[in-house]
Amino acid sequence: MSLMGFGALFQLADKLSSPLPVVAAGGADRTVLEALAIAQRRGWVKPILTGSVPAIQELAKNLDVELDGFRLIDAIDPAAAAVAEVKAGRASLLMKGQIGTPDLMKAVLARDFGLRTSHCICQVVLMEILRDSRRFLLSDTGITIQPTLEQKADILRSMVNVAVALKEESDRELPRIGIMSATEKSTESMPDTLDAVELSRRNQVGEISGCLVQGPLSFDLAYATDAGEKKRMEGAVIGAADGMLFPNLLAANLTVKGIMYTSNCSFGGVLCGAACPVVFMSRADSTETRLNSLALTLRMLTAPSNS
């Protein structure tokens, strides 16, 4: 199957019948203000910002960003205040702003007032390699440090949901998911390869459905067809992975950031598994990346298969 790129996601966001309320936890950030101002002008969102209102106003003034139409909430704990807006139904989605991931997750996972569900929370990144006109998903690149087998199965399902939201309605192909490792051979000395074999088995017997799973696979096998030819490996996912499930946070985070900083690419991320999708990328990312992540998250919220 073929995943939509960010150009198509921007076009779909431009066609929204009405803007959706989004709350940014930690609004005193240049990229947050610039991205939400652009998204507001395009009719995507109605922005809500939490944090120090004086700091937000001063930064907006320095950046020449108009706050007309923005709602500001003065809060000592921006993450808790943002989550409260979602819980109360005043915001449809949450954006990570100028706060650390642990602070955001503390509020999201709070048992009494958070956005916790029965699912494993994970970050799914959409990567678009412009040189190759190639698009694929990576997970979990931001949250679960060392996922168990069952958490991997849950993350896999979240990735499939994102893939389904990003395909054309006329596309009947199933998402192809590679279970990533440093090798394509299973060995007891690398337990993640045994998990990969088990996830592939569950897919083959129908316990994990709606996708094609193959693993363990090295990155070259999941990405490049000629790697499969050279290594004499065959399968539906070889050279054609729509999604890559990594064995742990270390492998996923190093891979995604290595691609981000060394290749001609576009990317954006969404947090899955919470009660609402979360616009989620690094505080070091650009305004363009925040817009990409917002367009991706809006698609998750409005795609026909996820409504």
Q: Please give the average per-residue pLDDT across 253-264, as a whole number.
A: 94
> Is residue 181 a contact partner of residue 216, using CB atoms and an 8 Å limit?
yes
In the chain, % of residues over pLDDT 90: 90
The pTM score is 0.95
* CA 18 centroid distance within chain: 23
Contact of 137 with 244, CB cutoff 8 Å: yes
Q: Say which CATH topology domain 1-116+274-307 has.
A: Rossmann fold (3.40.50)
Q: What is the pLDDT of residues 204-242, one digit of tens each?
A: 999 999 999 999 999 999 999 888 888 888 899 999 999
C-alpha span between 278 and 24 (Å, rounded): 10
Domain ranges of the chain: 1-116+274-307, 125-271
Question: Rounded mean pLDDT of 195-209?
Answer: 97
pLDDT confidence bin for 287, thresholds 50/70/90: very high
pLDDT band of residue 171 (cuts 50, 70, 90) is confident
Q: Residue 307: pLDDT above 50?
A: no
Between residues 102 and 284, which one has the greater pLDDT? 102
**Average pLDDT in the 31-44 region?**
97
Give the least confident one: 34-38, 256-260, 284-288, 296-300: 284-288
pLDDT grade for 305, boundaries at 50, 70 and 90: low
Average pLDDT, the chain: 94
CA distance 218 to 180: 6
Q: 111-131: per-residue pLDDT in tens?
A: 888 999 999 999 999 999 999
| CATH number corresponding to 125-271 | 3.40.718.10
Residue bearing tokens 């040189």: 131
